[in-house]
Chain A
Amino acid sequence: MVDQPDNTHPWQGVVDNPWRRLRQFTAARIGLGRSGVSLPTHEMLAFQLAHAQARDAVHTPLDFAALSQQLERLSEQHAVLNREPPLLLHSEAVNRMTYLQRPDLGRRLDDASRVLLQQEQHSPKQPFDLALVIADGLSATAIAHNACGFIAALATELQQDSQDWRLAPVTLIEQGRVAIGDDVGELLNARLVLMLIGERPGLSSPDSLGLYLTYAPQRGLNDARRNCISNVRPEGLPWQQAAQRAMYLLRQARQLKISGVDLKDRSPSLDADSNATISAHHNNDASPTDAQHNFLL
């Protein structure tokens, strides 16, 4: 059925796609060109690189020692942060392979970590206002690139707030999933927990940081009790804006004593269709063009 190869003309190289200039409208891989019906070499290799970076984001262990040092320096610069060195904890997922296959284990602290937090012996009469919890999640790259930048921006917001914020020691969790933050918050006796976690990496976004907020955290809460801010990174939702949104939610949650679907996000910077869960696709600056003005029509 296939045509005979045409050997009467010399090979002209890869067939170009002149509509590639439409990439001004989309980050999608359009107009890649072709050799026969196949991807040109440079596009095939570019894809492999993007995939390799996303894979590395999933499998590179987070450098907890370096992160700890950076956080200690941050606490010297921002008085609102807790001065104790960060506490290093671990989930029940013993390694990365287990973590990927058993999300249930990633949601629970291991025994040693529970003992460590219980030994902290914080007065039950004096709860912390906020516990910051950092977990590697599915992208250590996201934490390495964005955690400290975001916390610095948040610390500035917290310091400028009219009410006092008493922060728990920062906790760092190896092989952690979102729900484990509630475990930590409960054991630390914190009114609020804000979890920073590496999101599932996309091919063009290997370093997205996710933020999850819970009021009155305790073991076993479901997703409906958490507010989420997604895609925190310089190319997505920049640190300062993310800190402002988080601060809005923190203030509201503390005042109304709720979080999750009951806590609607009505911060002024948000789009009209605000929702308790801020979607991953908030950076919608370009208002969609009217269909009638589309170039295909």
Chain B
Amino acid sequence: MHKTYRYTLGSKTYEFRHLADLLARATPARSGDRLAGVIARSAEERAVAQMALADVPLSNFLNEALIPYEQDEVTRLIIDDHDAAAFAPISHLTVGDFRNWLLSDHASSAMLAQVSAGITPEMAAAVSKIMRNQDLILVAQKCQVTSAFRNTLGLHKRLSTRLQPNHPTDDMNGIAASILDGLLYGSGDAVIGINPATDNVAQATRLLHLMDDVIQRYDIPTQSCVLTHVTNTLECIEQGAPVDLVFQSIGGSEATNSSFGFNLATLAEAQQAALSLQRGSVGNNVMYFETGQGSALSANAHHGLDQQTCEARAYAVARKFSPLLVNTVVGFIGPEYLFDGKEIIRAGLEDHFCAKLLGLPMGCDVCYTNHAEADQNDMDNLLTLLATAGCSFVMGIPGSDDIMLNYQTTSFHDALYARRVLGLGAAPEFEAWLEKMHIMSNAPGACLNDALPPAFAHSLQSLPANSGDTDQEANHG
């Protein structure tokens, strides 16, 4: 039975049909919620919804499922896995109190880790809606989440990168060229991860072998991943391919995930298969998930929820499988979900905050498409804010320009900028490797060596000299 929420302002009473409606009206404005028809009808209604939401007890979220329990396995996961003991210290709070508690000195890193399993995605989404950007940064920065496979990610004062060497035809030399470029710019400690242009098992296997060979040859303390469908990765494992991590795009409702072609059982099976390979050296987190606001609406599977609440629910799916990496591909889908730099920046901070609060090793693909009202300055802003908030990792791609997916994300240079201005390092194992390979002389200070590192100079010797670009290179040398 849905409960109606009311708030009286002067002589006017605002009424919200149920909790989902209240959450949607309270959310900061964005185009996807307008498209879905769930957005606040006026700025005043939004502010009032936020005030009404602040009065809602957190315990209401355990009694009012936004998508019915019987219809949705994500709802069942959220309810069935809820840890009442962890919830106890905050069980008496309203959403508004919860914000105060999170910001208080009482909510230390240790305390936040302790209550994490008692927080549901809807509670996290709700409190984020009444927080300013600085609140989202401050609390996320207190949440410490580490994960490990061949290195340790998410430690304090660290910012890792996914080296993303995509190529429009999966040309092996083209991909290797981008891997080399990334490694020489100190990128790749979160993962070397390829979005394949041709998505099938044979192609994934070929790419997995390429990356595994490179990682072994240069003894790199990192892991690889081909971002292909979970069922493809399962087949790769069955065929004996060198799989480090299992990838899947996930969403916050069963219907969204069905449209992606998987369910929770599929993920459990894939996790067990990857664990059986025992390829991790310092940890056993074998899953890599990507998310992003708008995917549920895009799949027509949002059940009338706003897109940020749907996104937070996806983190319940991720949390179930102890991932090494989760990231929100924040500006990828386009302006019909997040219209401009302002909306992208807000969404990136919300996603990072909610995921960290729920205990996930959260990164962000700080990105935009060319039909969004955004540019590199917006990306600089979001990158700087997220790095300040303790974001676990960002993307690293040559010159910000993904020539396969046709969008712009953060470059190798961008990650070095963030590390330098904020005094952040790469994962410790990877940082030691960068110095050992003579790529950096002061990895914590993000100081690259001028000379080509000997091990890689050797690799390049076998190459034929190429005209064209080399001439241009001389001009700028």
CB within 8 Å of B: which residues of A?
1-3, 13-34, 36-40, 42-43, 47-48, 50-51, 54-55, 57-58, 100-104, 138, 200-206, 273, 279-281, 283-284, 286, 288-292, 294-297
A70 and B276 CA atoms in complex are apart in Å by 64
Among A19, A40, A101, A297, the residue within 8 A (CB) of B336 is A101
Query: B residues within 8 A CB of A14?
Result: 476-477
Which chain B residue has the least Cβ–Cβ distance from A52?
Answer: B375
- Per-residue CB contact flags for chain B residues 375-401 toward chain A (1 = under 8 Å, else 0) read 110000000000000000000011111
B444 and A1 within 8 A (CB): yes
Tell me if B111 counts as interface (CB < 8 A to partner A): no
Knowing that A19-B184, A29-B399 touch, tell me 19 more A-B residue pairs with CB under 8 angstroms: A16-B473, A16-B476, A17-B181, A21-B463, A23-B469, A25-B171, A29-B401, A37-B413, A37-B446, A50-B401, A55-B370, A200-B371, A201-B371, A202-B370, A203-B408, A205-B406, A281-B198, A291-B206, A295-B176
A25 and B170 CA atoms in complex are apart in Å by 11
Tell me if B420 counts as interface (CB < 8 A to partner A): yes
A37 and B35 within 8 A (CB): no
A103 and B460 CA atoms in complex are apart in Å by 48
B172 and A103 within 8 A (CB): no
B460 and A19 within 8 A (CB): yes
Number of A-B residue pairs, CB cutoff 8 Å, is: 222
Say whether, besides A29-B399, A200-B369, A37 and B416 are in contact (CB < 8 Å). yes
Candidate in B174, B445, B446 with the most chain A CB atoms within 10 angstroms: B174
B469 and A101 within 8 A (CB): no
Among A37, A101, A200, the residue within 8 A (CB) of B370 is A200
A44 and B170 CA atoms in complex are apart in Å by 26
A295 and B460 within 8 A (CB): yes
Query: A residues within 8 A CB of B85?
Result: none
Query: B residues within 8 A CB of A1?
Result: 423, 444-445
A284 and B406 within 8 A (CB): no
Say whether, besides A1-B445, A21-B473, A104-B35, A32 and B214 are in contact (CB < 8 Å). no
- Per-residue CB contact flags for chain B residues 63-79 toward chain A (1 = under 8 Å, else 0) read 00000000000000000
A30 and B460 within 8 A (CB): no
20 inter-chain pairs at a CB distance below 8 angstroms, sorted by A residue, are A1-B444, A19-B452, A20-B473, A21-B465, A21-B466, A21-B469, A25-B173, A25-B174, A26-B173, A30-B399, A38-B417, A42-B476, A47-B400, A103-B35, A201-B406, A202-B403, A203-B406, A290-B172, A294-B210, A297-B213
Query: B residues within 8 A CB of A138?
Result: 371
> Interface size class for chain B?
35 or more
Query: B residues within 8 A CB of A294?
Result: 172-173, 176, 210, 213
A32 and B397 CA atoms in complex are apart in Å by 12
A20 and B448 CA atoms in complex are apart in Å by 17
A86 and B442 CA atoms in complex are apart in Å by 65
Query: A residues within 8 A CB of B181?
Result: 17, 19, 22, 28, 30-31
Taking the closest CB of chain A, its distance from the CB of B396, in whole angstroms, is 12
Query: B residues within 8 A CB of A296?
Result: 176, 179-180, 214, 217, 459
Query: A residues within 8 A CB of B110?
Result: none
B468 and A47 within 8 A (CB): no
Say whether, besides A47-B376, A204-B403, A281-B169, A3 and B445 are in contact (CB < 8 Å). yes
Taking the closest CB of chain A, its distance from the CB of B329, in whole angstroms, is 15
Which chain B residue has the least Cβ–Cβ distance from A100?
Answer: B335
A57 and B209 CA atoms in complex are apart in Å by 39
Say whether, besides A30-B398, A201-B406, A204-B403, A39 and B413 are in contact (CB < 8 Å). yes
Query: B residues within 8 A CB of A286?
Result: 169, 171
Which chain B residue has the least Cβ–Cβ distance from A18?
Answer: B452
B371 and A58 within 8 A (CB): yes
**Residues 166-220 of B contacting A (Cβ, < 8 Å):** 166-181, 184, 197-198, 200, 206, 209-210, 213-214, 217
A53 and B297 CA atoms in complex are apart in Å by 30
- Per-residue CB contact flags for chain B residues 150-177 toward chain A (1 = under 8 Å, else 0) read 0000000000000001111111111111
Tell me if B43 counts as interface (CB < 8 A to partner A): no
A101 and B35 within 8 A (CB): yes
Among B171, B370, B466, the residue within 8 A (CB) of A58 is B370
A296 and B182 CA atoms in complex are apart in Å by 13
Query: B residues within 8 A CB of A55?
Result: 370
Tell me if B342 counts as interface (CB < 8 A to partner A): no
Say whether, besides A202-B370, A281-B197, A296-B217, A43 and B177 are in contact (CB < 8 Å). no
Taking the closest CB of chain A, its distance from the CB of B320, in whole angstroms, is 31
A32 and B413 within 8 A (CB): yes
B335 and A101 within 8 A (CB): yes
Which chain B residue has the least Cβ–Cβ distance from A285?
Answer: B169
Taking the closest CB of chain B, its distance from the CB of A26, in whole angstroms, is 4
A17 and B184 within 8 A (CB): yes
Which chain A residue has the least Cβ–Cβ distance from B475?
Answer: A42
Among B34, B217, B372, B477, the residue within 8 A (CB) of A16 is B477
Taking the closest CB of chain A, its distance from the CB of B374, in whole angstroms, is 10
B336 and A37 within 8 A (CB): no
Among B169, B371, B404, B460, the residue within 8 A (CB) of A283 is B169
B177 and A23 within 8 A (CB): yes
Among A48, A206, A289, A297, the residue within 8 A (CB) of B217 is A297
Query: A residues within 8 A CB of B214?
Result: 296-297
Tell me if B339 counts as interface (CB < 8 A to partner A): yes
B403 and A28 within 8 A (CB): yes
Taking the closest CB of chain A, its distance from the CB of B410, in whole angstroms, is 12
B401 and A204 within 8 A (CB): yes
